[in-house]
Structure 1
Amino acid sequence: MHREERHPLSDAMRARVVQALDKIEHERNVKVLYACESGSRAWGFASTDSDYDVRFVYVEKPDWFMQVDAPRDVIERPLDDELDVSGWELSKTLGLLRKSNPTLLEWLDSPLVYRQETEAAAQLRALAEAFYSPPAARNHYLSMARKTFRGHLQGETVRFKKYFYVLRPLLAVRWIDLGLGRPPMTFADLLSTVNDAQLLDEVATLLTLKRNAGEAAYGPRRPALHAFIQAELEREVPVLPRTREDSQRLDRYLRDTVKRFA
């Protein structure tokens, strides 16, 4: 099955997103290099009432860089009904890529791409692979899982969606620890690191509940999932390879891309 077929998107919603991106380009005089779906719809566990989280990378005109005070490098649009749109300027994006920012790496792996300049996006993905740091990614995902678990899954009644906001980063940690490379964005792919049939059944049951019940739905805590989560949070940290790359590659990409789309 093609990746996008697992994350269906209506033609009407795709057209609405493209229209929003066109409006941003026109109003801000920028070029959108890449735009994708992030969040639960791209992860593969959206509810019927989940928002559409559109994220993009854009290029400013050369004059934007000729300012003493650093200009704002983020474009955000207020949540409009179910559409949440925001993006990062390219030099900001590359600075985060140099730090192996997992959020950015997930954007580049999204199964739902709304727009991309094919060559520029391919080069950006290649840079993401080159600068990928397993220790940085592991720390990010483990911290995310621990914070959500402590903050949202301690009661006898818990919000269904919060389980997935803990399970997904923990499975990303497992993926990293197994030496499988950059963790994929989709929950189904990450779940391939689990071979416990009972646990998989528990996750499948919860996934069905979450998809059908809505984002705000609550239910009783699930002991089997809690036991798995606690065990994963307590696992020893393995020795992971560190990456060293030449930042001049990022500078060249920035210069070439700004010149091309100015």
Structure 2
Amino acid sequence: MKEKIKNILSEMEAAHHVKIIYACEAGSRAWGTASEDSDYDVRFIYIRPKNWYLSIEQKREVLEIPVTKELDMVGWDLRKALVLLNKSNPTLLEWLQSSIVYYEKDAIVNELRLLSRSTFSAKTCLYHYLNMAKRNAKGAFNSPNANVKLVLNVVKPLLACSWIEKYHSIPPNELQHFIDGVLTPSPLRSEIDELLANKLKKVEEVKREELIATQEYVAERMVQLSEYVKALEEDRENYTEALDQFFQSTLDRVWD
């Protein structure tokens, strides 16, 4: 599949006259929660020739291929990515943290990762992950049997919040890193370990009564984190000048 993905990326470069800077996995495979038949969620960043940007026309800044059962592939123009990076967009930060990279222009992407650490806003990302957990939690524990994937989709963003609270840095993608980084041995840790094991084995549901510690954790952490993020000082700065310089230099490096 890796070679197939690389071939599609090359075909997209030729068809759309772009240069791909970075391509990675962004779904369950990047999170370490995929089963053997999980699909591939490929995300990439590309750049167009200089003249494309010298226009008064508002142009589309997204490329994608038709979604299939096994492959979902979406790319963002570098300018769009940098606008979002200036806002500490958590989705883009996750892409740049992916441990599954299909392609990257090393020097450019390393510089991009350094910029992401500068633009990182704990408050912005905390709100993002906390709201994600709240949305997913609405249907997670409403029946005698709990959906394993849905519960993990509540737990993972809460652990991401805990990572930010503890380390004041961009959280990793892999659920196992969250578990190791913020949880100590406990009934909660045991339940989450078992949930992850079940997900990898394609077990879809477990009895809700087996998740007592998890349910308590979810309820308590949502209250705690809601108070914490409200009290957190705004930490966003504007890095437009630095990002403009990076964008202009990347245009020169890629196309000249």
User: TM-score, length-normalised on structure 1?
Assistant: 0.90
- Check conservation: 2:93, 2:116, Cα contact below 8 A: yes
1:107 maps to what in 2?
95
Conservation of the 8 A alpha-carbon contact between 1:34 and 1:117: yes
Q: AA paired with 2:103? A: R
2:4 paired residue among 16, 30, 39: 16
In structure 2, the residue matched to 1:162 is: 150
- Preserved CA contact (<8 Å) 1:199 1:224: yes
Secondary structure at the counterpart of residue 80 of structure 1: coil
Which residue of 239, 243, 248 maps to 1:246?
239
Alpha-carbon deviations, 1:149-174, whole Å to 9, x = none? 11444332232111111111100111
Match of 1:229 among 215, 218, 226: 218
Structural mapping, 1:74-85, within 5 Å: 74-85=62-73
Tell me which residue corresponds to 2:194: 205
Worse overlay, 233-242 or 46-55:
233-242
CA contact (8 A) 1:97 1:104 kept: yes
Select 1:177's aligned residue among 157, 165, 173: 165
Which aligned pairs between 1:41-60 and structure 2 lie closer than 5 A?
41-60=29-48
Partners of 1:49 and 1:246 lie apart in 2 by 41
The DSSP-based 3-state class of the residue aligned with 1:158 is: strand
Please give the per-residue CA displacement for 1:195-249, whole angstroms capped at 9, x wherever unaligned.
Answer: 14221111111111111126xx233322221111111111131525614243110
Task: Give the drift of 1:105.
Answer: 0.6
Q: Which moved more, 1:232-241 or 1:109-118?
A: 232-241
Distance 2:110 2:104 in 1: 9
Amino acid at match of 1:194: L
Q: Residues 74, 151 of structure 1: CA spacing in aligned structure 2 closer, same or farther, 3 A cutoff?
A: farther
Q: Which moved more, 1:224-233 or 1:31-40?
A: 224-233
| CA-to-aligned-CA distance 1:31-66 (integer Å, 9 cap, x gap) | 110000111111111122211110000001122213
Deviates further, 203-212 or 105-114: 203-212
Q: Does 1:194 align with 2:183?
A: yes
TM-score normalised according to structure 2 size? 0.92
Task: Find the aligned partners of 1:231 and 1:241 in 2 and give their Cα distance.
Answer: 24
What is the CA deviation profile of residues 86-114 of structure 1, one whole-angstrom value per residue up to 9, with x for unaligned ones?
A: 11000000000000001101111100000
Partner-residue secondary structure (3-state), 2:66 = strand
The amino acid across from 2:172 in the alignment is: P
Q: How many residues align?
A: 248
Give the letter for the 1:142 counterpart.
Answer: L
Gaps of 5+ in 1: 1-12
Cα separation, 2, equivalents of 1:46 and 1:19: 23
For the residues of structure 1 that align with 2:19 and 2:141, how far apart are their CA atoms? Answer: 42
Whether the 8 Å contact between 1:153 and 1:162 is mirrored in structure 2 is no
Q: 1:69 to 1:153 in 2, by over 3 A?
A: farther
Q: Which residues in structure 2 correspond to 1:74-153 (within 5 Å)? A: 74-153=62-141
- Structure 2: runs of 5 or more not aligned: none
Secondary structure class of the residue paired with 1:178: helix
Deviates more, 1:188-197 or 1:249-258: 188-197
Q: Distance in 2 between matches of 1:210 and 1:252?
A: 44
| 3-state SS, counterpart of residue 167 of structure 2 | coil
2:206 aligns with 219
Displacement after TM superposition at 1:67 (Å): 2.6
Kindly state the Cα deviation for residue 76 of structure 1 after the two structures are TM-superposed: 1.2
Letter in 2 for 1:252: Q
Is 1:34 matched up with 2:22? yes
One-letter amino acid matched to 1:187: L
For the 8 Å contact 1:134–1:240, the answer to whether it is kept is no
